Amino acid sequence: MSFRVYFVTPDGVSDELVMAAVRGGATAVQLRDKQAEDAAMIAQARRLRALLAPLGVPLIVNDRLAVALAARADGLHIGQSDGDPLRMRAALGPVAILGLSIETGAQLAALPPGAVDYLGVGPVRATATKPDHAAPLGMDGLARIVRAAPVPAVAIGGVGAPDIPALKHMGCAGIAVVSAIASAPDPEAAARNLAQTWSHA
């Protein structure tokens, strides 16, 4: 799986916006919606997986194990308060992708060996996309966690194309963005800029 340009969707995202991001170069999609009912999210996840699978782009569901299982999504991403990673791994099976949000070095140290496939590390900076986020790590704090991570680490939280050279240099597997794509006047072009910047960094 490639995490280079990891698109995390805003609430109420349209299928069209997701596909525009993928056309531009998004290499993974996390369907995140804090407002949608499970049934609506399952239906959208099934539609998106049918569209993304032929392109080799994995669909990861945020937080909701039941939705991920019902939609046969490629994986699940959980936060620190969303349940035990080992229990989630047991429910998903060995093939599904499991990601975990890491906000501190202590959380990384407590990571159960072999439970997750990648880490979402952040927030790097304060971001309006998630107002209840933990204290920002900054680039130095991010680098410390990335260096110690036993699995690929993706930077998230207030990061964009200008940060890519530094992120790639410190060993990040990719950049996760919401508004950098979703709020752009041309989401496809925004995703393409991120993908090209990553390739050339």
Q: In this structure, what CATH number is given to the domain that contains residue 46?
A: 3.20.20.70
Q: Is 32 a catalytic residue?
A: yes
- Give the pTM: 0.96
Binding residues for Mg(2+): 63, 82
Q: What is the pLDDT of residues 58-104, one digit of tens each?
A: 999 999 999 999 999 999 999 999 999 999 999 999 999 999 999 99
Structural domain containing residue 36: 5-200
Number of compact structural domains in the chain: 1
Q: Is 130 a catalytic residue?
A: yes
The pLDDT value given to residue 130: 64
Q: Which of helix, strand or coil describes residue 121? A: strand
Active-site annotation holder among 4, 32, 89, 168:
32
Report the C-alpha gap between 7 and 3 in whole angstroms: 9
Active-site annotation holder among 89, 101, 168, 192:
101
Binding residues: 30-34, 62-63, 82, 101, 127-130, 158, 178-179
